Copies of this chain bind each other. A is one copy, B any other.
Amino acid sequence: MSNIVERLRNSNIKPSYARIKIMEYLMEHPVHPTVEEIYQNLVREIPTLSKTTVYNTLDLFIRHNLARVITIEENETRYDADTTNHGHFKCETCGALYDFTVDEDNLATRGLGDFVVTEKHVYFKGICKKCLYNQ
């Protein structure tokens, strides 16, 4: 809890209750939740919470690099409080999302000569272990 307050303060974000709770939820549920998931779970604890606040707060986090958007899903945007380099795997059978380690720094590319790269994203799709064996 207090480390979350620290995290927010370090980014010059006033640690309001909603902001703390949303960041806490993101960090404790690293399954890349959607706005809907975050809202439905937190509204139990914060009955006055509005979905707009969740959107606003997540946008705030992203502008301050405390969270990232994951665009692996076509319809719904997902959020991730882990801003270090890592890849995402989506199982097309069960829909689950997994993190994996990827060496993005040594990724060989051609055709980006003078471009400034600020974000690198890697995502795979396929079938996860569970779906391969458990049925």
Mark A residues whose CB is within 8 Å of B.
69, 71-74, 77, 87, 89, 91-92, 98-103, 106-129, 132-133
Contact = CB atoms under 8 A, between A and B. Distances in A.
Nearest to A87: B109
B112 A89 contact: yes
- Interface class of chain A by DSSP: strand
A108 B115 contact: no
17 contacts: A69-B74, A91-B115, A98-B111, A101-B111, A102-B110, A103-B107, A103-B108, A107-B122, A113-B129, A114-B129, A115-B127, A115-B129, A116-B126, A117-B125, A119-B124, A121-B124, A121-B125
A70 to B, nearest CB: 9
Contact of A71 (B72, B92, B117): B72
Going nearest first, the 6 A-B pairs with the smallest beta carbon separation are A100-B111, A101-B110, A119-B125, A103-B108, A117-B126, A118-B126
B126 A123 contact: no
Given A114-B129, A115-B127, A116-B127, 13 more contacts: A71-B71, A89-B112, A98-B112, A98-B115, A101-B110, A102-B110, A103-B108, A103-B109, A107-B122, A115-B128, A117-B125, A121-B122, A121-B125
